[in-house]
Amino acid sequence: MIPEPALISGAVLCGGRGQRMGGQDKGLLSYRGEPLVAHAVRALSGVADTVLINANRNLPGYRAFGLPVWPDEPGVGAGPLAGLLTVLRQVRTPWVLTLPCDTPHFDATCLLRLCAAWQPGQTDICTVTDGHRLHPVIALVDSHLTHSLAACLAGGERKVETWFRHHRLSLVDYSDCPEVLINLNTPDDWTACNRSLT
């Protein structure tokens, strides 16, 4: 069952430091003629009525997309869990759907497949596997988990998978289309992906 778009807030997570990309702000790097963040915004807009951006640098550049932009809250640490907590504390919808800025091939169709794993009263989090490992930054998360996540971060935990395992988890297997999970994390990733398009 897929939640109605009005029940979902989509969030593009752009808050990373881009260390493996030489410190560049990946969300604003151009891919196929537009910033990476634009690909994620388009995908989320096909599923959620509300879309926002979590970013910690170059905020005017992100605000140019005309969407709310929220940096991580002070004192909650760094990483995807910090970004997720920031988003959960800002939204008013029952569900948050997260997508990292560096996975440009994960489109609205892929997100709908993820959301279809939601089972009312049985699922806290839906996330993605490639058949071997999780890709937990792509997830549909129950907003009622805000306090649980805050406590997790306050306790020093930073691994998304560890927090997920404390909740009712539905996994969606994308091993039939692994190309949609390609992350552009490094210059080599970027070169390889662009080479595959030529």
Q: Per-residue pLDDT for 198 more than 50?
A: no
Mean pLDDT over the full length of the chain:
89
The string of pLDDT tens digits covering residues 125-135 is 999 999 999 99
Q: Per-residue pLDDT for 78 more than 90?
A: no
Counting the structural domains of the chain, the total is 1
Q: For the whole model, what pTM was predicted?
A: 0.91
The string of pLDDT tens digits covering residues 11-49 is 999 966 545 555 678 899 888 889 999 999 999 999 999
Range of the domain at 171: 5-196
CATH number at residue 116: 3.90.550.10
Mean pLDDT confidence for 154-179: 94
Residue-by-residue DSSP string for the chain? ----GGGEEEEEEE----GGGTT--GGGSEETTEEHHHHHHHHHHTT-SEEEEEESS-HHHHHTTSS-EEPPPTTS-SSHHHHHHHHHHH--SSEEEEEETT-TT--HHHHHHHHTT--TTT-SEEEEE-SSSEEEEEEEEEGGGHHHHHHHHHTT---HHHHHTTS-EEEEE-TT-GGGG----SHHHHHHHHHHT-
